[in-house]
Structures are given as C-alpha cells and as structure tokens.
Amino acid sequence: MLSIYKEYTDGVKSMKIIKSPKEMTDFALEAKAQNKTIALVPTMGALHEGHLSLIDKARSSADVVVVSIFVNPTQFGPNEDFDKYPRQLEEDAKACQERGADVIFAPDASDIYAPDASTYVCEESISTHLCGKSRPKHFRGVTTVVTILFNIVRPNIAVFGEKDAQQISIIERMVRDLFMDVKILRAPIVRDSNGLALSSRNKYLDTLERQGAARVHQSLLAGKRLVHDEGCTNIDRVKALVINHVTNAKTRVIYVDVVDASTSLPVQTLEKGKCRISMAVWYGQTRLIDNILI
C-alpha cells in the first residue's frame, strides 16, 4: 500500500508527492505492470518555465510523468550554493500539477545517500572540459544522482534542458556506455524576453542584474553573427569576440569555448550547424551558463 506524502487534485486529475524511494519504485513497477511508459524530468526544484517545458515534452512522450525534485548535495562543491539554493516545494507542486505531472518524487538526502555511501558513477572525458574545470566533482555528482534516480523511478524516457548542454552530453554518454535502458530527450533553452536563459539561479539576481545579465546571451548572438554573417571560421576570433562582448565591471568570464554540438567536446574546426558556443560567467555573485548553436 502506497503511503502518499501529499495528493493534489483539481477534481479532474490528481498528482501525488512521493518521498520514499521504495514507494516510488513500487509505483513505477505498478505502472509498468499496466504497460504504461514513464517519463522522468529530473530537477532540483525552484521550477521555472524552462522546467515546465520539459514537463510538456515528457507529457507528450509517455503515459506517466514523474518530476523529481531533489537538491543533490554531491554535485555542489564545498564553497558553492548548496545551502542557499532555492527550495519551494509547495509552489513547485502547484506548477507541476497545472502542467499535468502525475507524480513528484521529492526524497530527503538521507533516503538517497547512506551515511557511508562510497559508490559513484564517473564519466571521465566530457566531464573534464568546460564547467568540469572549475567544478571538479560536479559531474560525478550529477551522473551518480541521475543513475540513482533512474534506478528508483525506472523511466523509459528522461528529459533534460539544453541550457545544461554539457550535462546532457555526459548523461547521453553514460547511458550509452553503461547500456542503460533510458531514452534521453533534449529540450531547447527557454529564455526571458530579454534573452537571459531561464535558470533557478536567476533568483539570486535583482531586477537590474537580470537586465544586465542579458548581455550573456547577446554576446553569444554576436559570436554566432561573426560566423554566419561574416563567414568567420577562426575559433579563437569567435571566442575573443564573445569574451570582449560580455566583459564589463559586473562580469568575470569563467570560460568561453566552441564545442561539438552533440558531445560538448572541444573542436578544432568550426562547422556551421555542428558546433555550439558554450560559456560560463560570474555575474556579480551569480554563476551563469549559456550556449548557442552556430
């Protein structure tokens, strides 16, 4: 018998919040016994329109949509924002229900990681580039928790957003290398009207900073224009232009690179339609990432 932590209903459709991993797996196995397919949308909560677009994609791809909300401690470095990361389960639950999710899986960290947990899943190539350079154990935490979520939720499909393009490349590689039976779907970046890529961390920005941070996307557009309008194929020139465009008193560039659009690995030759400019910057105290297909 499932002990549901909370059930939301609008009289037509109900959505459950499950906290226990065992109950989540029982629910999944029951759905599969009824020949239903499951799509998982893994999130850390503080949901915005970008996450909700992933739920839409999941909704149109499977019978049952599970949204996991778990601020995963193992993907944060010691001096990062784990403690201040926004947590708003009630608000998130409302948004998920409105978008047609069936289940929120919101475990406690102590139910996911035993106190003496010592097993990790590591991808060792793509993870060393881009964000991996400044966040050395970040992707190990991501691949580990995504594997744990796959083992608990048993999804046929999992949906990830392309704002975290490197993360998707790593997960695709992990799924391929470890013969995981999950289809990974990519969903496009959702942006504010000023171009700023939606992110839960945008909550750290005040109104003025939110406007100013739009220069991150503008710099990517400038890089793309250099390639498309001026036919530039020189990677260093593209990178220099983007860095120059984004830099001001508020920004500190962490990296700008041109990478393969599908693997996120660095490229030697810039080919239109096959490459992405990826970047990370500090905007004041907030770390922002963004990318654009060129």
Positions annotated as catalytic residues are: 51
Residue 17 found at the interface with ligand PAF (CB under 6 A):
no
One residue of 28, 44, 58, 288 binding ligand PAF per CB under 6 A: 44
Report the candidate in 129, 138, 172, 174 with the shortest Cα–Cα distance to residue 265. 129
Burial class (CB in 10 A: 0-12, 13-18, 19+), 238: buried
* Distance (Å, whole) CA 168 – CA 159: 9
Q: Which is nearer to ligand PAF, 162 or 257 (CB)?
A: 162
Secondary structure class of 180 (helix, strand, coil): coil
Burial class (CB in 10 A: 0-12, 13-18, 19+), 150: buried
Q: Which is nearer to ligand PAF, 187 or 235 (CB)?
A: 187
- What is the pairing mode between strands 38-43 and 157-161? parallel
One residue of 21, 46, 67, 75 binding ligand PAF per CB under 6 A: 75
Q: Which is nearer to ligand PAF, 73 or 195 (CB)?
A: 73
Residue 172 found at the interface with ligand PAF (CB under 6 A):
no
One residue of 145, 153, 187, 241 binding ligand PAF per CB under 6 A: 145
One residue of 15, 16, 43, 182 binding ligand PAF per CB under 6 A: 43
Q: How many CB atoms lie within 10 A of CB 26?
A: 14
Residue 164 found at the interface with ligand PAF (CB under 6 A):
yes
Q: Could you tell me the sign of the dihedral formed by the alpha carbons of 265, 266, 271, 277, in that order?
A: positive
**Residue 71 Cβ vs ligand PAF, minimum distance, rounded to whole Å:** 8
Residue 219 found at the interface with ligand PAF (CB under 6 A):
no
Residue 235 found at the interface with ligand PAF (CB under 6 A):
no
Secondary structure class of 220 (helix, strand, coil): helix
Stretch that binds ligand PAF, among 39-47, 215-223, 229-237, 276-284 (CB under 6 A): 39-47
Burial class (CB in 10 A: 0-12, 13-18, 19+), 9: exposed
Residue 72 found at the interface with ligand PAF (CB under 6 A):
yes
For residues 78 and 125, the answer to whether their CB atoms sit within 8 Å is: no
Report the candidate in 20, 70, 15, 19 with the shortest Cα–Cα distance to residue 45. 70
**Residue 72 Cβ vs ligand PAF, minimum distance, rounded to whole Å:** 4
* Distance (Å, whole) CA 202 – CA 208: 12
Residue 155 found at the interface with ligand PAF (CB under 6 A):
no
Stretch that binds ligand PAF, among 40-48, 111-119, 181-189, 205-213 (CB under 6 A): 40-48
Secondary structure class of 56 (helix, strand, coil): helix
**Residue 134 Cβ vs ligand PAF, minimum distance, rounded to whole Å:** 16
Residue 42 found at the interface with ligand PAF (CB under 6 A):
yes
Please, which of residues 83-142 interact with ligand PAF by CB under 6 A?
A: 142
Contacts with ligand PAF, residue ranges (CB under 6 A): 42-44, 72, 75, 142, 145-146, 164, 167
